[in-house]
C-alpha cells in the first residue's frame, strides 16, 4: 500500500485525531457486540506508545435522520472502550466547536476522548468542507482506521484528509493487505463464496470475481434467482424477477466456475418453527413454500468444491441464519473454513452478516481475517477505489 501509515510519522506530542468505526449495535444503552471496538484497540495502543499529547476519536453510529438522537449517541461506547484499554476515556457531547477543543485541551498528557456521533451533522455524509475544517481543528495529524466507512466520501474521513496529514491505522492497513493484496495475487485454488438475499446487490462483485477466482460458490437467497434462471420452480421463495436474465447470463459466462445449490430446505412460512422439508432442484420447492437454507446435498457439494482451496473469501450467509433452524448451511460453511484455515489456507470473511455468522458460531478466532466493513469489502472485491483510502497521504 503506497499510503502513509501510523508507522511512517512522528506522533510524539501531537493531538492525534482518529476516525474509528464504532458503529456498534446498542440496545437500551448496552453494546451487544463490541467487535468493532476491539478491532480498533491495537491502533489506539500503538499511538499511545508513541507518546502523543492526546488521542481524539470520532465515529458515526447508526443513521440519525434529524440531527442528534439519544439512541444514536456514542456515550455508551466510551466506558466500553475504557474497559478494553484499562484507561480512562473521556466523552464530549459534540464533535466540533469551542467546547470540544476545550475538553481536548483539558485532557491529561496521553489522554483519550471520544467525540459525539459525526452524523449528528447532516453535512457529514455530504463531505461538507466547512464541517471537515471544524473537525480538523481538533487534531494536528489524522489517522483513519475506519475501514467500514472507507467506501464513503464523508467529512470525517475524506474531508479531514484534505486538510491534515492523513495516515492509515493498523486496522485499515490490515484490511487492505488481506482484501486487496491477497485477492490480487492469491495462492490458488482461489474460491469465493457469496450469499445474502439479493443478486442485484452483488452483480458487479460476481462479474469482477469471475475473472479472478477458480470457483465461485453461490448460496443464500440470491441462489434462488440463479435456480429460477435454470428453470427450477422456486414457489414462494424470494426471487428477483428482474434479475433472472442477468443470472442466466452470469451462469453462461461463469461456466463450470459458478457453483449453485442442488437442494435446499423449504419452509411453509418465514418462521423458525415452520414446517420444513428438503427439496431437490429436480423437484423444485413445494407449492406455497419458500427456500430458507441450502440443503445437505449442497453442503456436501460445497465441501467437495472447497476441499483443496488455498484462498477463500466469504461474503454473505447461506440461509436465514438468524433463525437457528435455517442456520445449518451457514454454520457448515463456517466450520469448513475453520478446517481449511487449520490446514494452512487463507480464509477472509468479508464483513457484515458473514462476520456476524462466524462470531455466532464461535469460530471467529479460527479465520485468517474478518473484515470490519461489509459494504467497503464488497466494493474492494469489485475492484473499486475506496474514497477514504484514496484520500490518505501518499508515501
Q: What is the Cα–Cα distance from 73 to 59, expressed in whole angstroms?
A: 10
- Decide the pairing of beta strands 111-114 and 54-58: parallel
Give yes or no for a contact between 339 and 305, defined as CB atoms under 8 angstroms apart: no
Query: Which three cell numbers mark 110?
Result: 496521553
Catalytic residue among 14, 15, 36, 328: 36
Q: What is the Cα–Cα distance from 31 to 23, expressed in whole angstroms?
A: 10
Query: Which phi and psi (to 5°) does residue 210 adopt?
Result: -60, -30
- Count of C-beta atoms within a 10 Å radius of residue 106: 11
DSSP 8-state class, residue 149: G
Active site residue 264: no
3-state secondary structure of 91: strand
Active site residue 101: no
User: If DSSP states are collapsed to H, E and C, what string results for 232-278?
Assistant: CCCCCCCCCHHHHHHHHHHHHHHHHHEECCCEEEEECCCCCCCCEEE
Active site residue 295: no
Query: Which phi and psi (to 5°) does residue 190 adopt?
Result: -110, 120
Catalytic residue among 110, 123, 375, 383: 375
Give yes or no for a contact between 355 and 35, defined as CB atoms under 8 angstroms apart: yes
Catalytic residue among 198, 248, 303, 310: 198
Query: Which three cell numbers mark 350?
Result: 468479508
- Decide the pairing of beta strands 141-144 and 111-114: unpaired
Give yes or no for a contact between 58 and 118, defined as CB atoms under 8 angstroms apart: yes
Query: Which three cell numbers mark 347?
Result: 480464509
Catalytic residue among 159, 195, 219, 352: 352
Q: What is the Cα–Cα distance from 258 to 302, expressed in whole angstroms?
A: 11
Active site residue 198: yes
CB burial of residue 382 (10 Å; 0-12, 13-18, 19+): middle
Side-chain-facing half-sphere of 66: CA atoms under 13 Å: 0
Active site positions, annotated: 36, 198, 352, 375
Amino acid at each position: 500500500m503506497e499510503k502513509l501509515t501510523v508507522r511512517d510519522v512522528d506522533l510524539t506530542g501531537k493531538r492525534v485525531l482518529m476516525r474509528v468505526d464504532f458503529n456498534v449495535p446498542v440496545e437500551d444503552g448496552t453494546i451487544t457486540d463490541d467487535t468493532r471496538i476491539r478491532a480498533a484497540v491495537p491502533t489506539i495502543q500503538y499511538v499511545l506508545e508513541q507518546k502523543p499529547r492526546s488521542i481524539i476519536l470520532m465515529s458515526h453510529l447508526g443513521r440519525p435522520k434529524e440531527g442528534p438522537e439519544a439512541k444514536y449517541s456514542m456515550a455508551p461506547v466510551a466506558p466500553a472502550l475504557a474497559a478494553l484499554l484499562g484507561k480512562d476515556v473521556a466523552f464530549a457531547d459534540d464533535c466540533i466547536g469551542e467546547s470540544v477543543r476545550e475538553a481536548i485541551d483539558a485532557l491529561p498528557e496521553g489522554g483519550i476522548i471520544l467525540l459525539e456521533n459525526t452524523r449528528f451533522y447532516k453535512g457529514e455524509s455530504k463531505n461538507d468542507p466547512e464541517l471537515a475544517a471544524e473537525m480538523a481543528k481538533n487534531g494536528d495529524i489524522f489517522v483513519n482506521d475506519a475501514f467500514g466507512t472507507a467506501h464513503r466520501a464523508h467529512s470525517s474521513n475524506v474531508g479531514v484528509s484534505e486538510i491534515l496529514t492523513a495516515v492509515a491505522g493498523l486496522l485499515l492497513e490490515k484490511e487492505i493487505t488481506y482484501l486487496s493484496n491477497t485477492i490480487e495475487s492469491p495462492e490458488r485454488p482461489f474460491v469465493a463464496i457469496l450469499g445474502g438475499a439479493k443478486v442485484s446487490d452483488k452483480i458487479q462483485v460476481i462479474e469482477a470475481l469471475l475473472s479472478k477466482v477458480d470457483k465461485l460458490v453461490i448460496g443464500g437467497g440470491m441462489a434462488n434467482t440463479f435456480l429460477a434462471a435454470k428453470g427450477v420452480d422456486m414457489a414462494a421463495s424470494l426471487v428477483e424477477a428482474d434479475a433472472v436474465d442477468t443470472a442466466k447470463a452470469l451462469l453462461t459466462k461463469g461456466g463450470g466456475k459458478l457453483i449453485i445449490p442442488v437442494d435446499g430446505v423449504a419452509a411453509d412460512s418465514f418462521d423458525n418453527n415452520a414446517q420444513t422439508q428438503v427439496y431437490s432442484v429436480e423437484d423444485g420447492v413445494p407449492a406455497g413454500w419458500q427456500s430458507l437454507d441450502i440443503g445437505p446435498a449442497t453442503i456436501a457439494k460445497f465441501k467437495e468444491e472447497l476441499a483443496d482451496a488455498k484462498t477463500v473469501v466469504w461474503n454473505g450467509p447461506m440461509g436465514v441464519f438468524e433463525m437457528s433452524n435455517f442456520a445449518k448451511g451457514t454454520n457448515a460453511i463456517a466450520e469448513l473454513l475453520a478446517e481449511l484455515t487449520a490446514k494452512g489456507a487463507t480464509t477472509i470473511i468479508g464483513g457484515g452478516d458473514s462476520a456476524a455468522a462466524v462470531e455466532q458460531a464461535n469460530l471467529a478466532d479460527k479465520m485468517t481475517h474478518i473484515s470490519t466493513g461489509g459494504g467497503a469489502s464488497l466494493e474492494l472485491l469489485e475492484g473499486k477505489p475506496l474514497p477514504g483510502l484514496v484520500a490518505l497521504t501518499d508515501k
